[in-house]
Amino acid sequence: MAFLEISNIKKSFGKTEVLKGIDFTMEKGEVLVIIGSSGSGKTTLLRCINFLETPDSGSITVNGENLFKAGEPYSDREKREKRLHFGMVFQQFNLFPQYTVLKNITLAPELREFKDKKLSRAEKKALSLQIEKNARLLLETVGLSEKAASYPCELSGGQQQRVAIARALALRPDILCFDEPTSALDPELTGEVLRVIRGLKSSDRTMIVVTHEMNFARGVADKVIYMADGVIEEFGTPDEVFGKPKSDKTKAFLSSAKD
């Protein structure tokens, strides 16, 4: 049984069917890259996986645990627990502007650890320190240790996105999703973000990355999905998809992406 199993995910907005039955699986430690022209449903797919949208049909299973089955009612509380199997890095970073970089990373873990628990002052303090220590380690991972006390508005886009990655990692998700993490950045800032993602791959993070950076995709991916019009048009290793694409649509997309 695969680590992540996505089966028959469908999603419509009103009359437009955006996802028309998505199936794929991935293994632990793999990096899955999703490419496809804009409007093909990549964001919607990631949002379904992260419970920001509810699919109309299909199921999602991680590590043998069924997280979603269409038609079943889930309470807010259940959704919260289930979505923590996934992390999400948005195109627009979405850092919390009123908090320092460090607080952006520690806020959610603290809220989570302190909630519904009767902790003594000393226990809280110890837990806080633990969370902060972990946050500082993550900042080191993304190369921003010296920015812990800065506010998001004081950082470049590339730095903000690296903080967003650290923030997502702080909740220890099984699978980290990226939705075009460099699309909102100036070209000279994409490199630092892509470098961080490559670094995560070498530490065996399981990741799903939607991107338009074809060279990066080819280099970092274990598996590649090419999506078109809400279906998976092509699926395979980078060499298969980029080197010998089977479908004409894929060929057309890849040659247009070259220039």
96 binds another protein (CB under 8 A): yes
Closer residue to ligand ADP in complex, CB, 18/197 = 18
Decide: helix, strand or coil at residue 109: helix
**Judged by CB under 6 A, which of 44, 106, 182, 206 binds ligand ADP?**
44
Q: Which does 97 bind (CB under 5 to 8 A by kind): Mg ion, another protein, ligand ADP, none?
A: another protein
Closer residue to Mg ion in complex, CB, 39/243 = 39
Closer residue to Mg ion in complex, CB, 43/182 = 43
The residues, any chain, with a CB within 8 Å of residue 63's CB and separated by 6 or more, are: 3, 28, 85, 174
Answer whether 163's CB lies under 8 Å from 155's CB: yes
**Judged by CB under 5 A, which of 18, 26, 33, 43 binds Mg ion?**
43
Residue the block writes with tokens 């950082």: 155
Other C-beta atoms lying within 10 Å of the C-beta of residue 7: 15
178 binds another protein (CB under 8 A): no
Q: Which does 71 bind (CB under 5 to 8 A by kind): another protein, Mg ion, ligand ADP, none?
A: none
Contact letters (x/-) for Mg ion, 193-232, by CB under 5 A? ----------------------------------------
Decide: helix, strand or coil at residue 64: coil
90 binds another protein (CB under 8 A): yes
Q: How far is CA 151 from CA 77, 84, 114, 189, 195, in A?
A: 31, 26, 24, 19, 23
Tell me the HSE value of 49 on the side-chain side, using a 13 A CA sphere. Answer: 32
And the tokens for 6? 């996505």
Residues that bind another protein (CB under 8 A): 50-52, 76, 80-81, 83-84, 86-88, 90, 92, 94-98, 107-108, 111-112, 115, 151-153, 167-168, 171
